[in-house]
Amino acid sequence: MTDASRSQAWGDSSVPRRSQAVVEQRASESLVLVHIDSGRYYALEATGDRIWQLCDGQRTLGDIVVAVSMHYGEDPATVRADAAELLGQLAAEGLIDDAS
């Protein structure tokens, strides 16, 4: 993870968008992501999978937090912190960017 990627601030108005360089495949309980350029692969489960699906370049992080909080019945502040951390990791790997 680069310092620049780590410092990406994901605010409620950020609009996460999946990279076109990523292909995804469902494998049992996981969603497997493969970055075509690097050949690296990643697995997301449950909440991470749901967040990934909502990163469509249309919804803000605030929208995603509301949707995930309602879906799982979790505290929005906890979901926001976890989602921002996941988005930072995904961005550091070149899997998403901020479309806003």
Under the banding of pLDDT at 50, 70 and 90, the label for residue 46 is very high
Domain segments of the chain as ranges:
3-95
| Phi, psi of 87, rounded to the nearest 5 degrees | -60, -40
Rounded to an integer, what distance in angstroms lies between the CA atom of residue 46 and that of residue 51? Answer: 9
**CA geometry: angle at 30 spanning 25 and 34, to 5°?**
40
Cβ atoms 15, 100 nearer than 8 A = yes
- Say what the pLDDT of residue 9 is: 85
Tens-place pLDDT, residues 62-74? 999 999 999 999 9
Percent of the chain with pLDDT over 70: 92
pTM for this one? 0.88
* DSSP codes of every residue in 21-61: TEEEEEETTEEEEEETTT--EEEEEHHHHHHHHH-BSSS-H
Q: Please say whether the structural domain 3-95 has been given the CATH code 3.30.450.
A: no
